[in-house]
Amino acid sequence: MKNSLSRTAKLLRKNLQKYLRSLSRWLSDTPERALLEAYQAAQRIKNIESEHFDNKKISLQSVNYTENVMSYWQVYLNKNLTIIKFRLAEFQLSRGIINISNPVLLEKLKVIDEVIEKYAMKYETINELPLSSNYQPLNINEKEVKKRLKIPNIDEIKVKPQIEKTGKIPSSIGRNINKIQTDLTPQTEEEFIKNYRISKNRTIIALKLLVLLITVPLLTQFLSKEFIVSPILERVRGDNITKIFLNSDMEKEALHELHNFQEALRFEYLLDHAPSLSSEIVQDKIKSKAVEISEEFQRKSNGNLGNVFADLISLFSFGIVIAMNKREILILKSFMDNIVYGLSDSAKAFLIILFTDIFVGFHSPDGWEVLLSGFADHLGLPDDRNVIFFFIATFPVILNTIFKYWIFRYLSRLSPSALATLKEMDE
């Protein structure tokens, strides 16, 4: 048994070393690989320009194409610009970790910069635009400003009557006519498509980051525990009998299980369901059961310790994801704000009541007790009832105070109608 376990451990170590070597090679090749993919995307854009747009920019102003043909090239252009954006970000990040010096990289960077400068607006929709998609630059006429800033003479000032003249056509009809004229201009369609693409790109970025924030810590926790932490703990702890239990609760649980096994043997004997056994056979059965229980609880102890270190590694990976995606975090925050503030007042009030009742409501202590007991069992900590009850008596109260302050300070200012709906639903 021990020989098979040692062979399995050696095989796992060899596979882990092989995986780490391949990972090291992959990391060392990351800057050149990322820059090569960005360079290839830039070359594809330049090839399309030379073959179909007379070495000009891919746009309707360069060549007179139909709308469907131009839409095809537009999708192709956006795809390659996205590849350039992400591969350049990967290149900059990996270059800060791995030092490289290759003059060929400078030539590739020049080609990539030429393409980015030519399509500055397209690249800007993905990477450089502010968070508000309704942003529009303010057009200022310098002559008009100077004319308005010029101080007139007193004689030239004429007092206008306060009574507003009523035209033959109501102003609302005029505003509607102007709106129709604005909607029929070709710039309106381009602006709508541009805003749609910006919103689409932000949604994709927010959803990708949300998936990363969930999957990366979970995968890191599982992989680090299975392939790194658990083998090290098994090797360090070994078969030491004195290190079986992490706390007194685990020891009591093991003794209780052994006591139940003894009572079960006695119960079967008293009911004549089992033949009479000598004291030596009974002791052997009890001893084998004790060994089985000790092995089970040693594995459980190793798993609890492994959870502690794996959770720390997972938390570190979560921090790395946040540090590497600061701009994406802002986009995700804007995305979540749009979802929350886009809800109706009744939906906002319903979610607030549901959230507060779960965490700080009348029935919340039972949920907190289950949650804290599971967390203690996950980390191998003793299930101290006094600590749990003290936490339940203090933390939900603090949380409730924070909720009430947020409702009083911010919700009343951001959405007064939602606050009124919340008061009516509480009453």
For residues 353 and 94, the model is more confident at 353
Candidates 334, 304, 289; CA nearest to 229 is 304
Is the pLDDT at 135 greater than 70? The verdict is no
Is the pLDDT at 90 greater than 80? The verdict is no
Cα–Cα distances (Å) from 130 to 87, 116, 224, 329, in that order, read 21, 18, 38, 13
Query: What is the pLDDT at residue 154?
Result: 37
* Average pLDDT score over the chain: 76
Query: Residue 382 and residue 127: Cα distance in Å, rounded?
Result: 49
Q: Is residue 102 a contact partner of residue 32, using CB atoms and an 8 Å limit?
A: yes
pTM: 0.54
Q: Is residue 247 a contact partner of residue 381, using CB atoms and an 8 Å limit?
A: yes
Q: Report how far apart the first and last C-alpha atoms of the chain are (Å, whole number).
A: 68
Average pLDDT in the 227-234 region?
85
Is the pLDDT at 133 greater than 50? The verdict is no
Query: What is the pLDDT at residue 273?
Result: 58
Q: Is residue 345 a contact partner of residue 425, using CB atoms and an 8 Å limit?
A: no
121's enclosing H/E stretch is: helix 120-127
Query: What is the pLDDT at residue 156?
Result: 44
In percent, how much of the chain has pLDDT > 70? 72
Average pLDDT in the 320-331 region?
89
pLDDT confidence tier of residue 219, bands split at 50, 70 and 90: very high
For residue 74 the two structure tokens come to 């537009």
Please state the φ and ψ torsions of residue 160, each to the nearest 5 degrees: -90, 145
pLDDT confidence tier of residue 315, bands split at 50, 70 and 90: very high
Query: What is the pLDDT at residue 272?
Result: 67
| Residue where the block lists tokens 């780490």 | 20
pLDDT confidence tier of residue 240, bands split at 50, 70 and 90: low
How many C-beta atoms surround the C-beta of residue 158 within 10 A? 6
Average pLDDT in the 122-150 region?
42
Query: Residue 124 and residue 416: Cα distance in Å, rounded?
Result: 37
Query: Residue 106 and residue 338: Cα distance in Å, rounded?
Result: 41
Query: Per-domain residue ranges for the chain?
Result: 2-128, 209-342, 343-427
Query: What is the pLDDT at residue 69?
Result: 75
pLDDT tens, residue by residue, 380-406: 888 888 888 899 889 888 988 888 888
Half-sphere exposure of residue 147: CA atoms within 13 angstroms, side-chain side: 5
Query: What is the pLDDT at residue 123?
Result: 39
Highest mean pLDDT: which range of 30-34, 208-212, 354-358, 374-378: 208-212
Average pLDDT in the 264-272 region?
77
Contacts of 331 (CB under 8 A, 6+ apart): 131, 202, 205, 206, 209
Cα–Cα distances (Å) from 69 to 75, 111, 242, 340, in that order, read 10, 26, 76, 39
Query: What is the pLDDT at residue 213?
Result: 92
How remote is the C-alpha of 197 from its chain's centroid?
22
Q: In this structure, which long-range contacts are made by residues 261-265, counting pairs with CB atoms below 8 Å and at least 24 apart in sequence?
A: 261/286, 261/289, 262/286
Query: What is the pLDDT at residue 418?
Result: 77
pLDDT confidence tier of residue 212, bands split at 50, 70 and 90: very high
pLDDT tens, residue by residue, 35-54: 888 888 888 888 888 888 87
* CA 100, 104, 107, 109 torsion-angle sign: negative
Cα–Cα distances (Å) from 181 to 10, 136, 170, in that order, read 77, 19, 17
Residue type, 139: N
pLDDT tens, residue by residue, 157-179: 344 444 444 555 555 666 667 66
